[in-house]
Structure 1
Amino acid sequence: MNMKNRVVTAAALAAVVAGALSVAQPTFAGDKEKCYGIAKAGQNDCANLAGTHSCAAQSTVDFDIGEYKVVEAGTCEALGGYSKGEAQKMYDEQQVNKR
């Protein structure tokens, strides 16, 4: 393989890796927010507070306080959900009460 082919191959590989990494990170516009406690089983948007999974659609319980969905900013409370801080506090209290 000559130098030109190596450069083209390396550039193509870098583009593929960059594309894969951009998909792996959940991002959303400023008019969206994470809303905890509203996701049904299998309908969460990403990782949970417990750290037991790191992907969407892996929740196993409806309305688990540790699972979130991304919603329009300002609508979470009306949907019956919680901010991350509120959800973390409730999750931590649940863990203490299990002991």
Structure 2
Amino acid sequence: MNKRHALLATAFATVCIAGLGTAHAADSDKEKCFGIAKAGQNDCASVTGTHSCAGQAKKDKDPTEFKLVAKGTCTQMGGKMSASK
């Protein structure tokens, strides 16, 4: 990856994370739920840094990927409130 691609990836990740922060602040009735997202349906960056934004999960129910769900429903869906290490 050359410097230009790295710069673009960093800028894109920043926009994704900033957008999620805004959405999360506005939707205080939502919480991150790890391990329930299907491939390509995660809500933002992987906690391991393997990708930088939404829709880039490679496999179903990856414990490092999250979806925003209604508060109190995560464990009922089989997810966890924090990423697995």
TM-score of the pair, normalised by structure 2? 0.71
Given residue 39 of structure 2, which amino acid in structure 1 is its aligned partner? A
Structure 1: gaps (5+ residues)? 1-20, 92-99
Q: Of 44, 47, 63, which aligns to 1:46?
A: 44
What are the within-5 Å matches in structure 2 for residues 11-90 of structure 1? 24-26=18-20, 27-28=23-24, 29-84=27-82, 87=83, 90=84
Q: Distance in 1 between matches of 2:17 and 2:47?
A: 21
Q: Which amino acid aligns with 2:44?
A: C
Pair member with larger Rg: 1
Q: Displaced runs of 4+ in structure 1, greater than 4 A?
A: 21-24
Q: CA deviation at 1:52?
A: 1.2
What is the identity percentage for the equivalent residue pairs of Structure 1 and Structure 2? 52
Instruction: Give the count of matched residue pairs.
Output: 67
The structure with the greater share of residues assigned to helix is: 1
- Provide structure 2 residue ranges, at least 5 long, that are not aligned to the other structure: 1-14
